[in-house]
Amino acid sequence: AQKVTQAQTEISVVEKEDVTLDCVYETRDTTYYLFWYKQPPSGELVFLIRRNSFDEQNEISGRYSWNFQKSTSSFNFTITASQVVDSAVYFCALRPSGTYKYIFGTGTRLKVLA
């Protein structure tokens, strides 16, 4: 079975706090791709990051960082010093190689309070 689990339905933090969004995936494929997307209130999903299964390097982009661990099938996303503009729904997605679709998690709604 191929599945993405985002166990945190909603998280509220106060501005400037750090927050980690969890993503656990299941796949039997050895080659696959993982993504994070942000969905602001306007509705469109905005691409944040892509990782392939052979690249376990963590990545940092400004206040955003991602921790990919194949041993635990996790691809967690951390926002450092959160800001109100970070308020959105965040989706984690899996794309097994050779398939035509993404498998999305149910999303985590992040509310950053001023």
Partner 1 sequence: DGGITQSPKYLFRKEGQNVTLSCEQNLNHDAMYWYRQDPGQGLRLIYYSQIVNDFQKGDIAEGYSVSREKKESFPLTVTSAQKNPTAFYLCASSITRTGANYGYTFGSGTRLTVV
Binding site for partner 1 (CB under 8 A): 4, 9, 33, 35, 37, 42-47, 50, 52, 91, 95, 97, 100-107
Min. distance of Cβ 86 from partner 1 in angstroms? 19
Distance CA 73, CA 80 (A): 23
Please say which residue, 44 or 71, places its beta carbon nearer to partner 1: 44
Please say which residue, 13 or 49, places its beta carbon nearer to partner 1: 49
First to last CA, the chain: 41
- Quote the tokens at residue 44: 């469109």
Please say which residue, 79 or 107, places its beta carbon nearer to partner 1: 107
DSSP character for 86? G
